[in-house]
């Protein structure tokens, strides 16, 4: 297998194109910097699915799994 292909996702050709597209969309949105609704710092991030927390003021909120509606 000497064939080298560059893909935009880490999965290569696996799992089907629609799944990879969704995964890329979700992971890129997770990498975005978010502002904390309490102290407005950019340390606001997802700690678990549906749970978002701020490192600075320890503000914690339950929100949707992959996006925040509070931003």
Site for Zn ion in 4-63 (CB under 5 A): 36, 38-39, 54, 56-57, 59
In the chain, where does DSSP find H-type helix?
Answer: 17-31
What is the rounded distance in angstroms from the CA atom of residue 28 to the CA atom of residue 37?
Answer: 21
| CA atoms of 33 and 43, how far apart (whole Å) | 8
Compute the least distance from the CB of residue 31 to Zn ion, in Å.
19
Toward Zn ion, which CB reaches closer, 26 or 30? 30
As measured in angstroms, the least distance from the Cβ of 56 to Zn ion is 5
The residue whose two tokens read 């560059």 is 6
Q: Which residues bind Zn ion (CB under 5 A)?
A: 36, 38-39, 54, 56-57, 59
């Amino acid at each position: 297998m000497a064939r080298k292909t560059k893909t935009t996702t880490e999965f290569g050709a696996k799992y089907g194109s629609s799944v990879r597209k969704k995964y890329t969309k979700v992971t890129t949105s997770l990498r975005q910097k978010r502002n904390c609704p309490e102290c407005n710092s950019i340390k606001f991030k997802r700690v678990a699915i549906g749970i978002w927390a701020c490192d600075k003021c320890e503000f914690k909120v339950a929100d949707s799994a992959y996006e925040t509606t509070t931003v």
